[in-house]
Structures are given as C-alpha cells and as structure tokens.
Copies of this chain bind each other. A is one copy, B any other.
Amino acid sequence: MIKVTVWNEFLHEKQHEEVRKVYPDGIHKAIADGIGTDGFQVKTATLDQPEHGLTDEVLAATDVLVWWGHMGHHLVDDAIVERVHARVMEGMGLIVLHSGHFSKIFKKLMGTGCDLKWREANEKERIWTVNPAHPIASGLPEYFELPHEEMYGEHFDIPAPDELVFISWFEGGEVFRSGCTFHRGQGKIFYFRPGHETFPTYYDENVRKVIRNGVRWAAPSGAAKPVRGNHKPLEEIRS
C-alpha cells in the first residue's frame, strides 16, 4: 500500500470560473481519483492549510508526494520547501506535474532555471514513448493524444534527465521532454508535463495511467541510509 499525498495550490479553482467548471472539487481531487485505491492510500493537501498541509507528520507518512502549483509558487513557505527537500533526500518520491516546473521545490532539486517556452492556444499534443522498457510506460500505447493543451517547448532548462520516457509533439511546431526521471539522494523524482488548469487532462485515462505508474516507480525502495562524515578506516593504512 503506497501512501500518496496529492498537493495542489488550489487557487485557480477558487478564482476562475473557467477552471472551476473543469475541476469543481479542485485539481487535487481529480488527480487523487485518477490514482485510485488499488494499491494506493491517497490523501490531499493544499496551500491554504496550516503548514500548507505538509506537516512533519504528514510528510513522514507520505511515500510519494504529487505536486501541482502555478500562480501561487511564491506563496509556498521556504521552510516547507526545505522540509519537502529533506524528505526527498531521505527517499520520499516526488511527482511534479505541469506548471510545477517552476515550483520552488523543483527548482531547488534541479539546480537550474527550469524555464521553458509556453503558449495557450488550445492546440493538440501528441505524447510519444521513447523508452518502452520503462515501468512508467507500462500499459500505454506507443503514443497518445490530448486534443487541447497548453504548449510547453524546448529548451526546457533542466539537467539532462536520468531517463527520458516521453517526448511531446505540438501542433504549433515545438517538441518537449515531457516525461523525465531523476534520482536525488535516496529519492526518485518524475516530472510529467500535461495538465493545464483549463483542460480536463487529469480525467484522461492515459494521463492517469502515467501518474499511477509514476507513483509506483517513485515509491521508496529502501536501501540503507548512507553514513556520511568522518569515517574510520576499514583497512589498515600503511602508506
């Protein structure tokens, strides 16, 4: 049973009628429903809760954290960002979705600017699997389409991902590394591109499958915590 916390800033849904129509209970609810209960125990947390709903207790009980944020990145408390970062170093998985590319936690983990090209033109996105051996591609067709999405284009300012799973084609002429995995400390991170707030992307069956696969892949795998600092020799030193 993988314990998942879906975090959402939950701002667009309250402020923009257009978004509320698509996600009346919040994007986090749609993401959580998509992950489901078959092998998962899913809770949600939002920006407006005390400590953004990410207390030490909550994070200690989280195997994989899913992150959706956009207009409220700057409202996330730095101390909470440090706390999430520390948990990733300890082994908590992190799934960063769409505009989460510009969240404090993702930027801190990547060490780069994380900027990209974007356009809101309701255009078609086609997502191609380029690593068909990867468990995150499990059960997916070789490509799938989202009829209307925001465009994200290269150059996406991230480190070269440890594994590149998906590349998106956009109708307007761009490409994007849409499914990227990273190991950081004992934690696993998966960035997945789709999910603009005005489109029903998180109800799409393929998108939901990718997120479920990502959560399974990112769950802690339990190697021993590395010992660091001053270390006694294991062998006699004679030099």
Contacts and interface: CB of A to CB of B under 8 A. Distances in A.
Interface in A65-111: 89, 91, 108-111
Contacts of A160: 131, 162-164, 183
A14 interface: no
B112 A226 contact: no
Please state the number of chain copies in the assembly. 4
A211 to B, nearest CB: 16
A139 interface: yes
Q: Is the interface of A mostly helix, strand, loop or mixed?
A: loop
Given A133-B183, A155-B129, A148 B228 contact: no
Interface string A151-193: 1011111011011100111111111010000111111100000
A227 B177 contact: no
A22 interface: no
Contacts of A121: 233, 237
A162 B164 contact: no
A184 B109 CA distance: 12
A228 B117 CA distance: 5
A59 interface: no
A123 interface: yes
Interface string A8-45: 00000000000000000000000000000000000000
A151 B165 CA distance: 21
Interface string A112-152: 11011111011110101111111101111110000110010
Interface of A: 89, 91, 108-113, 115-119, 121-124, 126, 128-135, 137-142, 147-148, 151, 153-157, 159-160, 162-164, 167-175, 177, 182-188, 221-235, 237-239
